[in-house]
Amino acid sequence: MLVGYARASTLDQKASIEGQVRELKALNCERVFAEQVSSVDVMAREQLAAALDFIREGDTLVVTKLDRLARSTAHLMELIKVIEGKKAALHILDLNIDTGKATGRMMLTVVSAIAQFEREIMLERQREGIERARREGKYKGRPSEIDPAAIKQLMDEGKGATAISKELGIARSSVYRVVKELSDTAF
């Protein structure tokens, strides 16, 4: 049996998940599990857990892309261990990799390592860019600490959340959060 799994990171990626589901159904996946959740929060991926629980010996879990399934090589290897433990296989459509074959298992490991390397390089470049922008004074980042007493004092002076956020260089939502915390502790 072919079992599909589709995932989009955010709710605004509705077209992405719909496209994945369409593609999986067109391949005759008898059951498709789909969810909109970040890959970072592995514990919240209930439909992935359900798909892994559902597959049986001889089944193939089908995903459209590797990044829809796993975030890192280590995570992918954990998933492969579960899938192979059930005597099932994994098929990644865009890479045409099928772990039901020895070559597919080897290729998956190599491709996964390359994907993780690319992600780590991208994050490293991002950190370097932020650091360069900081040195040039173009990137401030968020304040290291928010002072509730300063917010309370400005509120007592009659200033609104927007004015407080501008004066302290913090997000307006941070002002509201501190105000809520202050009102919760007042009683």
Q: Which residues are tagged catalytic?
A: 9
Helix %, strand %, coil % of the chain (to 5): 60, 10, 30
Q: Which amino acid is at 165?
A: S
DSSP state for residue 43 in the 8-state scheme = G
Write b or e for each residue in 102-139: b if 16 or more Cβ atoms lie within 10 A of its Cβ, otherwise e: eebbebbbebbeebbeeeeeeeeeeeeeeeeeeeeeee
Exposure class string for 38-55: b at 16+ Cβ within 10 A, else e:
ebeebeebebbeebbebb
CB atoms within 10 A of CB 18: 13
Structure tokens at 183: 């009102």
